[in-house]
Amino acid sequence: MREEKQTQNLRSFSNAITKTLAKRMPTNSSLIHLEDVIYVLVEAINRGDIYTKLNQDRELLYKGKGWPNEHLKHLLNSGWIKEGIGPIVYKDNRISWYRWDYEMKSIIKDLIYRNKTIRNISEIESTAHTLKSRVEIKSAQDKAINSVITQNLVLLSGGPGTGKTTTIIKMLAKCISINPNARISLAAPTGKASRRIEGALFKYMENNDYEHKESLDNINCQTLHRLLEAQETKFGRNKNRLLELDVLVIDEMSMVDIYLMKGLLDALPQKCQLILVGDPYQLPSIGCGAIWKEIQSDQIIKEFKVAAVNLNKVYRNRGAIASLAEVLRNNELSSFWKEIQKLPEQSNVCISFHNKRLIPEFLIQKVTTYQQSLKSLASLISKELYNMSKQRSPSNERSESYLLDQLSSILDEFVVLCPRRLGPWGVRELNKAILGRCLERGVMHWPEGTPVICGENQPELGLSNGDVGLIVGSDSSKSLLFVVDIGQKGKSHNIIHPARLRKVDPAFALTIHKSQGSEAKEVVLLWPDDWQSSIHSITNNKNTNYEKSLIYTGITRARESLTLVLDQKNS
Fold designation for 104-120+139-311: Rossmann fold (3.40.50)
Pick the more confident residue, 275 or 213: 275
The Cα 20–Cα 22 span in angstroms is 5
pLDDT recorded at residue 265: 96
pLDDT recorded at residue 138: 59
pLDDT recorded at residue 538: 44
The Cα 468–Cα 205 span in angstroms is 25
Pick the more confident residue, 138 or 86: 86
Most confident region among 162-176, 187-201, 483-497 by mean pLDDT:
162-176
User: For residue 189, what is the DSSP state?
Assistant: S
Q: In the CATH scheme, what architecture does the domain 349-567 have?
A: 3-Layer(aba) Sandwich (3.40)
Name the strand (E) or helix (H) holding 520.
strand 520-527
pLDDT, tens digit, 9 for 90 and up, residues 120-147: 545 544 444 444 455 455 588 888 888 8
pLDDT recorded at residue 536: 57
pLDDT recorded at residue 324: 92
pLDDT recorded at residue 533: 66
pLDDT recorded at residue 289: 83
The answer to whether residues 179 and 246 touch, using CB atoms and an 8 Å cutoff, is yes
191 band by pLDDT with thresholds 50, 70 and 90: confident
What HEC string does 405-450 produce?
Answer: HHHHHHHCCEEEEECCCCCCCCHHHHHHHHHCCHHHHCHHHCCCCC
The Cα 73–Cα 61 span in angstroms is 18
The mean per-residue pLDDT over the stretch 93-113 comes to 94
pLDDT, tens digit, 9 for 90 and up, residues 424-457: 999 999 999 999 999 999 999 999 889 999 888 7
Residue 558 phi/psi, 5° resolution? -85, 125
pLDDT, tens digit, 9 for 90 and up, residues 74-83: 999 999 998 8
pLDDT recorded at residue 241: 95
Sign, Cα dihedral of 26, 28, 32, 35: negative
Q: Are strands 509-511 and 414-418 parallel, antiparallel or unpaired?
A: parallel
pLDDT at 270 over 70: yes
User: For residue 317, what is the DSSP state?
Assistant: -
Query: How many CB atoms within 10 Å of residue 459?
Result: 14
pLDDT recorded at residue 522: 94
pTM as predicted:
0.85
pLDDT recorded at residue 131: 42
pLDDT, tens digit, 9 for 90 and up, residues 18-72: 999 999 999 999 999 999 999 999 988 887 788 988 775 554 567 888 888 999 9
The answer to whether residues 278 and 254 touch, using CB atoms and an 8 Å cutoff, is yes
Overall residue count recorded for the chain in this entry = 571
pLDDT at 261 over 70: yes
pLDDT recorded at residue 319: 86
CA angle 439, 440, 441 (to 5 degrees): 95
534 band by pLDDT with thresholds 50, 70 and 90: low
pLDDT at 544 over 90: no
Cα distances from 216 to residues 144, 232, 271, 523, 551, in angstroms, run 18, 32, 21, 32, 35
Pick the more confident residue, 148 or 483: 148
pLDDT recorded at residue 400: 60
pLDDT, tens digit, 9 for 90 and up, residues 200-239: 777 766 766 666 667 777 787 888 988 998 887 889 999 9
531 band by pLDDT with thresholds 50, 70 and 90: confident
35 burial (CB, 10 Å; 0-12 / 13-18 / 19+) is buried
Most confident region among 98-107, 223-232, 493-502 by mean pLDDT:
98-107
Per-chain mean pLDDT for the chain: 84
pLDDT recorded at residue 6: 75
pLDDT at 541 over 50: no
Buried b (16+ CB within 10 A) or exposed e, 394-421: eeeeebbeebbeebbebbbebbbbbbbb
The mean per-residue pLDDT over the stretch 378-387 comes to 73
User: For residue 315, what is the DSSP state?
Assistant: -
Task: Map residue 499 onto helix, strand or coil.
Answer: helix
pLDDT, tens digit, 9 for 90 and up, residues 304-330: 988 999 998 877 667 899 899 999 988
The Cα 148–Cα 138 span in angstroms is 16
The pLDDT > 90 percentage for the chain reads 41
The Cα 204–Cα 216 span in angstroms is 10
